[in-house]
Amino acid sequence: MEEKQQQEIDLTKVYDYAEYPDKKVSGRCDNCNSSYFKSSVKGGIFLRECRECGLKKSI
């Protein structure tokens, strides 16, 4: 039997998608399950930010 481990999500941190891929559903925010993101590219890094809660991942 697997124990569900609730991981605390720090919204001030930028997560690396390679280390923290979308856990619940691909293309949805791990924190609030929204699929509405704003994206930006800066210095060759693609950044995806959830418009609902602000969770950021570098893709």
The CA distance from 23 to 40, in Å, is 22
pLDDT given for residue 4 in this prediction: 42
The CA distance from 50 to 5, in Å, is 23
φ, ψ of residue 57 in degrees (nearest 5): -135, 135
- Cβ atoms of 9 and 30 within 8 Å: the answer is yes
Higher pLDDT, 24 or 59: 59
pLDDT given for residue 7 in this prediction: 65
Residue type, 53: C
pLDDT tens-digit map of 4-49: 445 688 999 999 999 999 987 899 999 999 999 999 998 899 999 9
pLDDT of residue 2 exceeding 50: no
Rounded to two decimals, the pTM is 0.78
Q: How do strand 37-42 and strand 14-16 relate by DSSP bridges?
A: unpaired
Place of tokens 């039997």: 1
pLDDT given for residue 23 in this prediction: 85
